[in-house]
Amino acid sequence: MRRQLLAVVLCLPFAAYPQRTPKQVEVKVQKTSLTREQEAAIGKEAAAQVEREMEIVRNPEIEGWLNQIGQRLAKTPQANAYPYYFKLVNEPSINAFALPGGPMYVHAGLLQAADSEGEVAGVLAHEMSHVALRHGAAQIGKQQTWGALFGLAGAAVGAITTGENGECGWLCQIGQTGAGIGGNSVLMKFSRGFERDADLNGARMMASAGYDPMQLPRFFEKLETKLGSAAEPKGLALWLSSHPATGSRVQYVADDIKFYPKGSYTADTGRFPRIKQVVASLPAPQMKPAKLVLAKEGAAPRRNLPAGFKDYQANGFAVAYPGSWRIGQGDGGGSLYLVPQGGAVRGQNGVELLAGAMVDYYAPAGSVQLDASTREFLTSMQKGDANLRAETSERVNVGGKPGLKTRMTTRTSLQQEPDQVIYLYTVARAAGLWYVALAAQPSRLGDFEPVFGQMIGTVQFPD
């Protein structure tokens, strides 16, 4: 009797607490203080910077194929009705990123690393899911100031372009991402939770579009196995650092697929082998001037700089400047400014240099030739500034390269002393005419000239 009673008691928990039916993991659209209009404005500015910094592949065959896949994914409910568009950039590293509002860029190296159209669709669906779930917008919305989100060379740039309360407004901050929008910036680096949600939403998006959703996690895990091996593709470590491991992607996507409606995956266009062949034949990428002024990642510190100077190593040059000066760019990127406090202000046509240095590249109409391109550059500046007067250029050496030094005078918006002296140094480079303009008021020229000489002495080029 006791044994029978014990058996009944042991059975009771299973009868009283039946097993729960498994539920599909919920993926939530993040709440953010940004409106969709603000999100789109940020994405538009960021996309403009990407296309200033990176070489867009203008090939109708590739563009048509990429957008055919992307727009098929964009029509699914998981895409959250954003106006996505898709472009290929001529970069050999593995990367792809979607910006707030819908612009998306795929590196040529990613297509080379993929073995099927489905793997490419998986990456697109994953990145699009960050937009659809508003991950980037949520991260931006959490920032107290735009300056806390974006920064060039780790320096404050309030002296360059200012918004309300003396802070840099959002659009000017977009241009100050240091390594560039396409790098490992906050717009593309998400938490493991966001990554997992993008995996799940992306897999559901693929299935809705007619692609095998398992190709998404398998491609990610395939790349992870190559990390640290002799076969590690270029840029893989950076890619994986912005796509952190979230456990077994294959397992949790496989568990999620159990909840999908049954269907066949027949969306493949069959054109991937041809597209991969075309991508492999692309010429070597040409670094654009906007990328050349950005900070070089992983640059080794230089020695023997003037006392109290800070170093700035860009992709196309290096220059040092006084440690008390500030460094940054204007709205949406553009020229690099290295200025003392109050050395630049917002003008009608952008940033106005009052004192300090401005560095950039000028793209001549034809081939880059030191003398002819410098004359063309001076003429173009004089057309925009009726007060600009240029003296005869003299030959100098800048960073071990032949250069020209041109003394100029003009007038600024300063009421106390509007006159300005500018020393323009120019050097012919493959990407254009590199130049640095060193400016000061005549009354302060005695203090600035020694500093200018020290700065020119620190200029170096990578070749």
Model confidence pLDDT, tens digit, residues 133-147: 999 888 877 653 333
Do 269 and 298 reside in the same domain of the chain?
no
pLDDT class of 223 with cuts at 50, 70, 90: confident
pLDDT, tens only, 412-454: 999 899 999 999 999 999 999 999 999 999 999 999 999 999 9
Residue 221 CA to residue 153 CA, distance in Å, equals: 33
Please give the pLDDT value at position 314: 93
Position with higher pLDDT, 226 vs 241: 226
The whole-number pLDDT of residue 239 equals 67
Quote the domain boundaries for residue 257.
Answer: 36-150+186-280
Return the SS3 of 447.
Answer: helix
Pair 113, 94: CB distance under 8 Å? yes
Within a domain: 214: yes
pLDDT, average across residues 301-327: 94
Min mean pLDDT across 4-8, 86-90, 124-128 is at 4-8
Q: Which residues partner with 401 through β-bridges?
A: 398
Which pair of tokens denotes residue 354? 């009052």
- pLDDT at res. 154: 29
Does the pLDDT value for residue 10 go beyond 90?
Answer: no
197 in the same domain as 345: no
- Residue at a domain's end among 280, 307, 332: 280
Say if CB 62 and CB 279 are below 8 A apart: yes
**Does one domain contain both 107 and 223?**
yes
pLDDT of residue 5: 45
Q: Which domain-ending residue is among 280, 304, 339?
A: 280
> Is this prediction's pTM over 0.95?
no
Same domain, 443 and 331: yes
What tokens appear for 108 in the block? 């040529």
Q: Do both 257 and 404 map to the same domain?
A: no
Asked if residue 295 and residue 276 are part of one domain, the reply reads: no
Task: Look at residues 230, 257, 280 and tell me which one is the last residue of a structural domain.
Answer: 280
- Specify the pLDDT at position 451: 98
In the prediction, which pLDDT does 263 show? 85
269: CB partners within 8 A, 6+ apart: 65, 68, 69, 117
Residue 162 has pLDDT above 60, yes or no: no
Number of domains forming the structure of the chain:
2
Query: Do residues 323 and 205 both lie within one domain?
Result: no
What's the rounded Cα separation, in Å, for the pair 123 and 126? 5
Residue 402 pLDDT grade (very low, low, confident, very high; cuts 50, 70, 90): very high
Confidence at 160, pLDDT banded by 50, 70, 90: very low
